[in-house]
Chains A and B, each alone.
Chain A
Amino acid sequence: MECAVEARGLVKVYPGGVRAVDGVSFCIRPGEIYSLLGPNGAGKTTTVKMLATLLKPTEGDAFILGRSVVRERYEVRRLIGVTPQDLTSDDEMTGWENVYIQARLYGYPAGEARERARWALEYMGLLDVAHRKVSTYSGGMRRRLEIAMSIVHKPKVLFLDEPTLGLDVQSRRHLWDLIRRLRGEGVTILLTTHYMEEAEELSDRVAIIDHGRIIAEGAPGELIAKLGGERIHILMPGPSEAEKLAGELASSGWSARAHGSEVVVTVANAAEALAELAPHLRGAREVRIARPNLEEVFLELTGRRLREEEESFDAFRYRVMTRRLRR
């Protein structure tokens, strides 16, 4: 089998006419970590929901180990594990109960379900807190519990929708290690994220998605290499000054573009170029050399930043808050 997950021209138009996904095709090879990277609202979650049989594609089809997500939904459901973006565990129950119920739902008899639950909790490093109520867990523990609930039946393909949303750097790194370990066991992983570092760090291949379309695909290193050179970001007091500087630089032979109040100059060697640029930098608020990364790739392709439309308050905390209110 060539693809563990294959999307063929997936389109999703929501009632009301919003075209959330607009013709997405890709092939995830077995045992690969493949990331959908894009800003909020790019269509990542909708794509995953179609692959996970939660939404019906308006057009197109997708295949999980050869099974159609349109025509063989129950077969697909047996093969996949899904970690939704939301924190879905019952916080008034223990971690153990949450995972155990999940195991039973996949049809394991009591004894085997206990073994499976134990394995999943141990795998995610939660065994020692398994009998505590989930409401006492930290953010990182809750995210790990979500994954434990999704791998209890040993899925061949795992969908992780923003698995580290709202986590601090340490918990995020811990989770990354665990995700890599899962790949090591042959699980094919589709990850969605709007954290550039996460996609770069974890994925074998990345698809950059924007406005429901894949605009670039490849290994992170490849995509970055294609970008070529290094970037110098010059922050100006305002967009008009940035426009002016970009024009000035362009006319003297530089490759420069304005993005809002910022001018981005592409150069072969940033350290050398800085000396030559210095005379133009009068009035600049801040000058920064950017190591070429996926953020730069996205900016180059779309003229926008990945996290331009980041929520004003932390979505994760909000979710935790609403859960507290419920109790």
Chain B
Amino acid sequence: MSDADQPDREEDMILAGEYALGLLSADEAAAFEARLSREPELRAHYAAWAEDFARLAEEAPPETPPTNVLAEIRTRLFRQERPPSLLARIGWPRIAVGLGAVAVLAAVVFVNSNVFDPGPVRPLDPGFVAQVEAEDGSLVVSAAYDTVSGALFVDRQTGAARPGRDLELWLLAGEDPPVSLGVLPDASRVELPVPDDLRERLQDGVLAISDEPEGGSPTGQPTGDVLAAGPITNT
């Protein structure tokens, strides 16, 4: 190891510390992770910091969690049952029916019946994307927002509405009540227009899909089980 390598090694050591503390930007962190997979020395730097900083967390005295927590974890992992309130778990309180009724949006969905038309296609350069998934993988929907057209391309890859029911897509932004983005059609792919006032709220939001009566929620808020959810991320 020549002296010329020293500054780089020092820089990598510091960079690994910044990564372990969560101080890098998303881009920097992604670049660091890409290097981690192929640079053992960098992995060693990171591991050293992770070990040291974990001791800080260990200042916290251990505390036995309530007994129901393990049962709930087992339900989430090992049973096919739907979790009771995915919305609550991802941090958005379920709003009582009626409270959010002002947010009712008409869910206009155009079902394309022409079998020769490939239907909507995923935007080439989406501004935001989301993977909306059920815990057990029974419903998987990929969404991509086209900043130019203002439309949300939605591709239902796995799962479907139950007979006589519909799947409804919701935007959860901040602490506001969920806002409907529309009912998913029978066709697996659809483009849903996103109203102007919602576009800037996609960032940092969450998409969720609920089980609703045919035609969508009668109240403007989710009434059935929340089947799937996924965060909206920048591309």
Say whether A associates with B. no
